[in-house]
Amino acid sequence: MDLKTVIRSIPDFPKPGILYRDITTLLTDARGFRRAVDELVQPLAGAKIDKVAGIEARGFILGGAIAHQLSVGFVPIRKKGKLPYKTISQTYQLEYGSDDIEIHVDAVEAGERVLLVDDLIATGGTAMAAIQLLERAGAEIVLCTFVVDLPDLGGADKLRANGKQVTSLVQFDGD
């Protein structure tokens, strides 16, 4: 199965000129979803992972399934104000302005080896902020993994330039 065939492309979303890669069609395809999770876990064979961290919101779905397969805990990385307990936050730049993501102060312990998961990497801003946040909390980022990479936007290369290992299942060039 070619996972690209079960990822929907939506032109002009969320604004004109953007070709949005929608993994909800992958999530609703039982074989595709299972294969994606299995392939995201495969590079970790034999690696020691303590936690999986997923970026809101599709990273929660993928990360939860991966954490289950690895028999480890899951850390939700949420937008500011969404977590009920004490948090630490990281600000990052958007195309117009900035945003914040947070984790609970006790989400990871110093030295824990963490897998970072999200559905897609584009410019890498959110993923880099998640890495910085987790590292400030004491985590060691073992791998950053994504279903979709948009290599023309440079996000995966940005993470690699910062010393992170990055994997993805499919690439859509020219987006």
Q: Hey, which residues are catalytic here? A: 58, 95
According to DSSP, the β-strands at 140-149 and 97-104 are unpaired
Crossing angle for the helix pair 58-70 and 30-41, to the nearest 10 degrees: 60
Contact 166, 134 (CB under 8 A): no
Contact 103, 87 (CB under 8 A): yes
Q: Which residues of 88-119 are buried (b: 16+ CB within 10 A; e: fewer)?
A: ebbebeeeeeeeebbbbeebbeeebbbbbbbb
Residues 6+ apart with CB under 8 A from 2: none
CA atoms within 13 A on the CB side of 126: 22
**Distance in angstroms (rounded) separating the CA atoms of residues 139 and 152:** 29
